[in-house]
């Protein structure tokens, strides 16, 4: 009887746990959610890559991503300088909602605690995440650092690599951080930064390859001061700047090799872009300790550069690669922005939008798979808390009090409306506002409505100082 009773008990227990065993087996056989890597260069110009037309700089690894994925020619960041651009990428919102201006070594603020960013939301779907490189989104407290905003790990700098003397008047030393702890001082010897970031990225991939991960690699270069190691010095036809870009390209190649070695390259979405255009018209403070005026990238066919709402300041390289998901060899001039990445990642990871999360970005997954056009039809160019331009389809209206010496204007003169056709005049050389006044007026009204909606400003001429 005891034998029969024990047999019955074992049978009952086996039947009871069978659903759980089946469920576990089913889950283990489910395909892993896609991994995500976002490469975010610092101050890299639209035409710094050979796949975007640079004749002197070789970028075969990044070019391969473009050849085997999707290359965008109207890809925008939402801020023309570092912090706002990064804030828009991480939050999926125009930076006026979070961090509209650059942070410095003495800054005490950062992302609002209630603002959800990419790693915080991906974590709910089982993603591990790491940021490697330049953060520049708050550092005064542990809560403002990457590991306080959802990243499991961090290796890098809290802000730009020039934020030390003699380039910036500060006594705060620039530190390299591991997670939320400073581990060493970074002064002028920055030659190994890109290689060090690469080593940490490969290490993270190898440690995390068995679960979905989000890897954010915001390189510190080619932001000034630029430097690279002996492996790349003098190897490009683009001078030291070209050497630095080719070092970054090598880094991308090494990280892609690590994905392939881990057999996860076909289940990883790759995004490569830059935070804004190149740093032209350098302030005098930067021309010190070996920094030269020609240590800068080229905007190619675009007008303007970093800190400008002309195309050269906010139109950047945009490459999306996802083997077997994004058709190879695609080039598109559809409008897409870094703000669109976050809502797209939610779709890819199978996550519903949190009830308390707002987006200015849109889901572009059907567009990436070439199943539809980009859902984005308009884009507003913000500088600080001012809307200076809007693009709608092929038309761009710009209304800014930025000094226009080439037109003989000063900051005190009335502001002219600048209307450009992005299909025929990507270099913004021909203002056709007088030829198409109804289009200019309609876009001006659109800018005013958006400014009212998000509590932004519209440019005004400066008042003449009163004569004494």
Q: Which listed residue (51, 61, 136, 280) is catalytic?
A: 136
Q: Is 82 a catalytic residue?
A: yes
Which ranges of 331-460 would DSSP assign to H, the alpha helix?
Answer: 341-349, 365-368, 437-454
Q: Which listed residue (82, 139, 223, 280) is catalytic?
A: 82
Give the pairing of strands 457-458 and 386-392. parallel
Closest CA to 431 of 407, 452, 463, 461: 407
How far apart CA 79 and CA 306 sit, in angstroms, is 9
- Asked if 140 contacts 104 with a C-beta cutoff of 8 angstroms, the reply is no
Return all residues near 50 (Cβ < 8 A) that are at least 6 apart.
57, 58, 59, 60, 63
How far apart CA 57 and CA 236 sit, in angstroms, is 6
Q: Is 23 a catalytic residue?
A: no
Backbone angles phi, psi at 37, to 5 degrees: -125, 125
Closest CA to 225 of 301, 154, 177, 157: 157
- Asked if 131 contacts 218 with a C-beta cutoff of 8 angstroms, the reply is yes
Say how many CA atoms lie within 13 Å of 314 toward its Cβ: 28
Label each residue of 145-206 as H, E or C: CHHHCCCCEEEEECCCCCCCCCCCCCCCCCEEEECCEEEEECCCCCCCHHHHHHHHHHHHHH
Burial 159-187 (b: 16+ CB within 10 A, else e): bbbbbbeebbeeeeebeebebbeeeeebe
Backbone angles phi, psi at 434, to 5 degrees: -75, -25
Angle, CA of 226, 177 and 90, to the nearest 5°: 80
Q: Which helix (H) or strand (E) holds 153?
A: strand 153-157
Q: Which residues are catalytic?
A: 82, 136
């Amino acid at each position: 009887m005891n034998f029969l009773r024990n047999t019955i008990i074992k049978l009952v227990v086996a039947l009871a746990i069978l659903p759980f065993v089946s469920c576990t087996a089913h889950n283990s056989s489910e395909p892993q959610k896609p991994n995500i890597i976002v490469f975010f260069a610092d101050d890299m110009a639209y035409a710094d890559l050979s796949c975007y037309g640079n004749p002197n700089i070789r970028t075969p690894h990044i070019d391969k991503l473009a050849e085997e994925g999707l290359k965008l020619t109207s890809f925008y960041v939402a801020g023309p300088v570092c912090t706002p651009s990064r804030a828009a990428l991480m939050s999926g919102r125009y930076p006026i909602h979070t961090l509209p201006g650059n942070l410095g070594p003495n800054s005490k603020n950062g992302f609002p605690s209630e603002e959800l960013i990419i790693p915080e939301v991906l974590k709910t779907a089982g993603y591990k995440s790491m940021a490697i490189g330049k953060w520049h989104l708050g550092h005064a407290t542990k809560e403002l650092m990457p590991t306080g905003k959802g990243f499991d790990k961090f290796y890098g700098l809290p802000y730009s690599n020039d934020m030390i003397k003699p380039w910036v008047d500060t006594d705060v030393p620039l530190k390299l951080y591991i997670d939320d702890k400073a581990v060493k001082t970074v002064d002028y010897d920055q030659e190994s930064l890109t290689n060090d970031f690469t080593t940490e990225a490969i290490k993270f991939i190898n440690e995390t390859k068995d679960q979905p991960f989000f890897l954010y690699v915001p390189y510190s270069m080619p932001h000034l001061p630029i430097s690279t190691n002996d492996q790349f010095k003098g190897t490009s036809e683009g001078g030291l700047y070209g050497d630095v870009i080719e070092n970054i390209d090598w880094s991308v190649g090494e990280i892609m090799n690590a994905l392939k070695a881990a057999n996860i390259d076909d289940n990883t979405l790759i995004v490569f872009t830059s935070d804004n255009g190149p740093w032209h018209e350098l302030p005098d403070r930067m021309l010190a300790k070996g920094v030269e005026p020609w240590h800068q990238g080229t905007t190619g066919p675009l007008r303007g550069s970093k800190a400008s709402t002309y195309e050269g300041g906010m139109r950047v390289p945009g490459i999306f690669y996802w083997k077997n998901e994004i058709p190879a060899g695609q080039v598109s001039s559809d409008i897409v922005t870094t703000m669109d990445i976050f809502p797209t990642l939610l779709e890819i990871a199978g996550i519903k939008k949190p009830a308390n999360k707002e987006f200015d970005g849109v889901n572009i997954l059907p567009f990436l798979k070439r199943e539809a056009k980009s859902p984005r039809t308009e884009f507003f160019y913000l500088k600080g808390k001012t809307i200076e331009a809007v693009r709608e389809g092929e038309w761009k209206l710009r209304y800014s009090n930025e000094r226009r010496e080439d037109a003989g204007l000063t900051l005190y003169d009335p502001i002219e409306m600048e209307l450009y056709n992005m299909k025929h005049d990507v270099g913004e050389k021909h203002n056709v506002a007088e030829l198409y006044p109804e289009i200019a007026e309609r876009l001006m009204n659109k800018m005013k409505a958006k400014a009212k909606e998000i509590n932004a400003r519209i440019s005004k001429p400066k008042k003449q100082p009163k004569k004494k």
